[in-house]
Amino acid sequence: VPESPSQRVGAPVEGGFKTVKHSIPMLSLENGFSDKEVMEFEERIKRLLTRLGWANHISYAVEPKMDGLAIELIYENGILKTASTRGDGYTGEDITSNIKTIKSIPLRLLPPGYDQDLPEHLEVRGEVYMEQKAFQQLNKEREKQGEAPFANPRNAAAGSVRQLDPRITARRPLLFFSYGTGEISGWTFTSHIELLTTLNKWGLRVNTHYIKECKSIDEAIAHCRYLESIKHDLPYEIDGAVIKVNSTDLQKALGEKSRSPRWALAYKFEPTQATTKITKIDVQVGRTGALTPVALLEQVEVGGVRISRATLHNQEEIERKDIREGDTVIVQRAGDVIPEVVKVIKAKRTGKEKQFIMPDRCPVCGSELIPPGDEVVLRCSNPGCSAQVTGGIKHFVSKDAMDIDGLGDKLVDQLVRLRRIKDAADIYHLSLEDLIALDKMAEKSANNILNAIKESKNTTLAKFIYSLGIRHVGEHVAMVLAEQFRRFDSLQKASREELLSIQEIGPEIADSILSYFSNEENISFINHLFEAGITIEEMPLEKAPLKEHPFSGKSFVLTGILSALTRSEAKKFIEEKKGKVSTSISTKTDYLVSGKSPGSKLAKAKDLGVTILSEEEFLRTLGER
Which amino acid, residue 545?
Answer: P
| Digit-coded pLDDT (tens) for 15-33 | 568 889 999 999 999 999 8
Cα 299 vs. chain centroid, distance in angstroms?
26
Domain ranges of the chain: 5-268, 273-379, 387-536, 555-622
Burial class (CB in 10 A: 0-12, 13-18, 19+), 512: middle
Pairwise CA distance, residues 591 & 435, whole Å: 48
Sheet of 69-76, strand order = 79-85, 69-76, 121-129, 175-184
- Give the model confidence (pLDDT) of 237-256 as tens digits: 998 999 999 999 999 999 99
Angle at 376 between CA 30 and CA 391, to 5 degrees: 85
* 76, burial (CB in 10 Å: exposed 0-12, middle 13-18, buried 19+): middle
On whether the 387-536 domain is CATH 3.40.50.720, my answer is no
- What CATH architecture does domain 555-622 belong to? 3-Layer(aba) Sandwich (3.40)
Cα gap 549→479, rounded to integer Å:
10
pLDDT at 266: 96
Active site residues: 65
Burial class of 176 by CB neighbour count within 10 A (0 to 12, 13 to 18, 19+): buried
**Cα 476 to Cα 484: distance, rounded to the nearest angstrom:** 12
Instruction: Identify the weakest region by mean pLDDT among 522-531, 542-551, 576-585.
Output: 542-551
Answering whether pTM is above 0.85, one says: no
Fold entry, domain 5-268: D-amino Acid Aminotransferase; Chain A, domain 1 (3.30.470)
pLDDT at 304: 64
Instruction: Look at domain 273-379 and name its CATH class.
Output: mainly beta
Higher pLDDT, 96 or 18: 96
Among residues 193, 19, 177, which one has the least CA distance to residue 92? Answer: 19
Burial class of residue 481 in the structure, from the number of CB atoms within 10 Å of its CB (0-12 exposed, 13-18 middle, 19+ buried)? buried
What count of Cα atoms within 13 Å lies in the side-chain half-sphere of residue 158?
15
* Confidence label for 460 from pLDDT (cuts 50, 70 and 90): very high
Q: How far apart, in whole angstroms, are the C-alpha atoms of residue 519 and residue 306?
A: 42
